[in-house]
Structure 1
Amino acid sequence: MPELDGSDAPAQIDLGGGVAFLHTPSIPSRGGLALTHGAGGNCESVLLQRIAAVWAGAGFTVLRFDLPFRVRKPKGPPHPSYSAEDRLGIAAAVDRLRAETSGFIAFGGHSYGGRQGSMMAAEHPGCVDGLVLTSYPLHPPGKPEKARIQHLPELRIPTVVLHGTKDPFGTTSELRSALALVPAPTLLVDFEGAGHDLAAAKYDAAARTLTAAVELFGTEQSDTSAAGPVFCPSR
């Protein structure tokens, strides 16, 4: 797996005042991945750094960035009243990524970040071409009756979900039922014994995000590469 050594060091860029890193592949870019974190972390998590290294090593331009709630405060969870602002931050990051590369543009997000990105994609069709969601927080732990599925029938893009079988935010069967609501191709990848953090080093989750995306997005990439850019409503 590619590592973030000196030769592969990403460029730190300004993205609305928050921390953001642009990973540029050493070969001509074949597309892009906008990548963000969950409620308890930031874009410098080990999982996100590994995902960015793997995708950049495979020829994708990766924009790894902090969500607006993390820009406002260095620690602590997001407040629900500001979630729309986080979705606008995701849209702005995708816009910036489209200015850096062409072709198939995917959004990747862990937990809360993935949920907000999927909601943004449902609200604004065409903003991204595919989703790669790690540890989607289907419901609060112990509260399956509060499933976060309202927007799923509005998704029109292929969606990959990577999930640990010991994740308290949803079981495999619950996620499978939820993904059945998406009127587009989906792929659920389970990690036996993994929790919500997916234990990046133990399970090699980063590499699996790429292999799963290539498997599901393959035909969509060729269709999208001929089209012009579709910009997100970030303003």
Structure 2
Amino acid sequence: MIPPFYVDGPASSRRTFAFAHGAGVGMDSDFMNQVAEKLGDAGIRVVRFEFPYMQKTRADGKRRPPDRAPVLLETWIAVIEALGLENLVIGGKSMGGRIASLCAVHQEKAGMPVAGCICLGYPFHAPGKPEKVRADHLAEIKTPCLILQGDRDPFGSKAELSSYRLSRAINIRFVADGEHTFIPRKSSGRTKAENWDFAVRELIQFISSID
């Protein structure tokens, strides 16, 4: 079932970024709002949507855990079918990006690859459990992929990522002193606005490179 879409940016854009939310907050978080609006201002069409569990939470106000992975993947596939493959980049924040990367591999195996994939704060492991890495498919992904990761993300820090086996199709960019949503410590001398603007610039550069 195709979820409702919320669209930023021009309908005439040559490139579309399908943008999924993370596990705990919906598509209208401050982070997603700012990223979508700035990408839209840069001429990129951004399509946001919510997974079934978040749609139910929005309807009745009751918090729920995420749907199981097959349901999340089926939702992504429905979104791709609705938007079409031409110049389509898929991605998301945390869980939304992880499932997008799984979907990118699925699309490759089906002979219908998407143009690119973006993971904003990839959840390589649960905080405090670095031994349980959830990234086997990232060793085989062929779709051009951008991972933006905070230096000190508790779901996978810069120091930890050097030990993971990742495909050459993946470009990793680190956000200085950022945590899971790229927010730096005051002592770093950086601001949230600077880090979020850096992330947006990286996204624009990656999406604009897709032909």
Q: Trace 1:1-235 onto structure 2 (pairs within 5 A).
A: 16=2, 18-25=3-10, 28-74=12-58, 75-79=63-67, 82-98=68-84, 103-125=86-108, 126-178=112-164, 180-184=165-169, 186-199=170-183, 202-216=192-206, 221-222=210-211
Q: Percent identity?
A: 29
8 Å contact kept, 1:187–1:216: no
- AA partner of residue 157 (structure 1): T
Change in CA separation of 1:103 and 1:204 when aligned onto 2, cut-off 3 Å: farther
- AA partner of residue 71 (structure 1): Q
1:131-159 deviation digits (Å, cap 9, x = unpaired)? 11111000111111101121112311111
1: CA distance, partners of 2:144 / 2:196: 19
TM-score normalised by the chain length of structure 2 = 0.82
Change in CA separation of 1:204 and 1:96 when aligned onto 2, cut-off 3 Å: farther
Give structure 2 stretches of 5+ with no counterpart.
Answer: 185-190
Tell me which stretches of 4 or more aligned residues in structure 1 moved more than 3 Å. Answer: 203-210, 213-219
Shift of 1:55: 1.6
8 Å contact kept, 1:191–1:203: no
Shift of 1:95: 2.4
Aligned length: 198
- AA partner of residue 212 (structure 1): E
Shift of 1:217: 5.4
2: CA distance, partners of 1:96 / 1:50: 24
1:171-228 deviation digits (Å, cap 9, x = unpaired)? 11322443x52141x2222222222122398144554344324544555x23xxxxxx
- AA partner of residue 122 (structure 2): Y
2: CA distance, partners of 1:182 / 1:136: 15
Change in CA separation of 1:176 and 1:129 when aligned onto 2, cut-off 3 Å: farther
Q: Which residue of 1 aligns with 2:188?
A: none
Shift of 1:165: 2.0
Shift of 1:106: 0.7
- AA partner of residue 34 (structure 1): A
Change in CA separation of 1:167 and 1:130 when aligned onto 2, cut-off 3 Å: same
Shift of 1:32: 0.2
Q: Which residue of 2 aligns with 1:4?
A: none
TM-score normalised by the chain length of structure 1 = 0.74
- AA partner of residue 23 (structure 1): D
Bigger mean CA offset, 33-42 vs 56-65: 56-65
Q: Which residue of 2 aligns with 1:230?
A: none
8 Å contact kept, 1:167–1:196: yes
8 Å contact kept, 2:15–2:207: no
1:2-30 deviation digits (Å, cap 9, x = unpaired)? xxxxxxxxxxxxx74x553022417x312
* SS of equivalent to 2:25: coil
2: CA distance, partners of 1:69 / 1:204: 32
Change in CA separation of 1:57 and 1:177 when aligned onto 2, cut-off 3 Å: farther
Shift of 1:97: 2.5
